Amino acid sequence: MADNKRDYYEVLGVQKSAADDEIKKAYRKLAKQYHPDLNPGDKTAEAKFKEVNEAYEVLSDKDKRARYDQFGFAGVDPNFGGGAGGNPYAGGAGGFDFTDIFDSFFGGGFGGSARRANPNAPRRGTDVEANVVVSFEEAAKGCKKNVTYHQIETCPDCSGSGAQKGTSPKSCPNCGGSGQVRINQRTPFGVVQSVGTCDRCGGRGKIIDTPCKTCDGKGKLRRQKTIEITIPAGIDDDQILNVGGKGNAGSNGGPNGDLHVYVSVRPHAIFKRRGNDVWCEMPITFTQAALGADVTVPTLDGKVSYHVHEGTQPGDVFKLKGKGIQSLNGRGRGDQYVQVTVEVPKNLSKKQREILAEFEQNADEKNYQKRKSFFSKLKDLFED
């Protein structure tokens, strides 16, 4: 299974010692780069996207990462150990789960001083992540989007108990349901007591005689899920939407985790965003600039007409009030700023040349204020 697979660290382009936020950053960058919505029809990008997600799923999870570091792909492959053959609840029936091995190494089970949490206490599910790509307009005005992600949910057939319908898990007789056993050891200094994980139930406190077939006794299933989410108007690139309760299922009646949706906003061909304002460049002709003209300006609300005044200079900026982006908190809207560029005509006809030459002959200092000031400074410079 490991033959054609690239090392997860290599996939994310990080060192083995990388910190969590470093891994997260690398993942965010690559997930965005290869996101199918940004690379429609590109099979290589799609494969990369999957590879990146798989790597992140392991390296972002403390337990999985440690198992990967120790056992390689075998430590995190769902088809190995913890998967088909591994029913963690089937006490002593050949059930085998990597989590147990791992817990016994790192979970403090042997130490005696570290106390394991009550295995039957409600635990909140973990958070999950998903990506969504929206257009500039969708981000500005808000929209609804379908988001697809993997979620661990409570098995509907056994309601999470892991026991086949009509049966229920029993309290482990070995540890009395605590998941822990006390071990008395006689030493030359007296009896030393330590606390270990119950090996009959693997620390879970429960034993299942007939495991549920749907979830193989785990009580949970990992499923692909698609939900519709509301993207609020004003969302910006790289912001994260939190959807409460849509993450992984909790244990023992604990609540679900949350879904974090990472939003990417596709760049717009004309518009740029600065805060809640929209900026764009607008080319006008040099005669429009000189004479003034009504021009058509694109905005998020469609085209609007604007009067460019006589003598408009390249780089001049005009403002369209309230034509920007809806503020994310719902209060007010930004403005649109339009920066004028002036296009100098090329490929002039003979007639156009004559007209312009005649214009130039009739032009004087008062037509070109900036030029006049420039040359008077130049004169000062050389005649001092």
Binding-site annotation: residue ranges for Zn(2+) = 155, 158, 172, 175, 198, 201, 212, 215
Question: Using the rule CB under 5 A, is 174 a contact of Zn ion?
Answer: yes
Stretch in the footprint of Zn ion (CB under 5 A) among 52-60, 166-174, 259-267, 339-347: 166-174
Measured over the CA atoms of residue 205, residue 212, residue 76 and residue 85, the dihedral's sign is positive
Residue 317: in which H helix or E strand, if any?
strand 317-320
- Give the 3-state secondary structure of residue 375: helix
Question: Using the rule CB under 5 A, is 158 a contact of Zn ion?
Answer: yes
Smallest Cα–Cα separation from 139: which of 256, 55, 232?
232
Q: How far is the CB of 218 from Zn ion (least distance, A)?
A: 7
Question: Per-residue contact track with Zn ion, 204 to 223, x per CB under 5 A?
Answer: --------x-xx--------
Selected from 12, 155, 295, 300, the binder of Zn ion by CB under 5 A is 155
Please count the residues of this chain forming the interface with Zn ion, following the rule CB under 5 A.
Answer: 12
- Give the 3-state secondary structure of residue 43: helix
Q: How far is the CB of 241 from Zn ion (least distance, A)?
A: 31
Q: How far is the CB of 110 from Zn ion (least distance, A)?
A: 16
Question: Using the rule CB under 5 A, is 12 a contact of Zn ion?
Answer: no
Cβ pair 325, 277 in contact under 8 A: yes
Nearest residue (CB) to Zn ion, 75 versus 203? 203
Cα 31 from chain centroid?
A: 8
Nearest residue (CB) to Zn ion, 87 versus 131? 87
Non-local (6+) Cβ contacts of 355 within 8 A are none
**Torsional class of 7: left (φ above 0), alpha (ψ -120 to 50), beta (otherwise):** beta
Alpha-carbon gap, residue 204 to 183, rounded angstroms: 18
Smallest Cα–Cα separation from 55: which of 7, 97, 101, 1?
7
Question: Using the rule CB under 5 A, is 172 a contact of Zn ion?
Answer: yes
Stretch in the footprint of Zn ion (CB under 5 A) among 1-9, 172-180, 236-244, 326-334: 172-180
Nearest residue (CB) to Zn ion, 209 versus 335? 209
Find the helix packing angle between 43-59 and 20-34, rounded to 10°.
160
Q: How far is the CB of 52 from Zn ion (least distance, A)?
A: 31
Question: Using the rule CB under 5 A, is 198 a contact of Zn ion?
Answer: yes
Residues in contact with Zn ion by the rule CB under 5 A: 155, 157-158, 172, 174-175, 198, 200-201, 212, 214-215
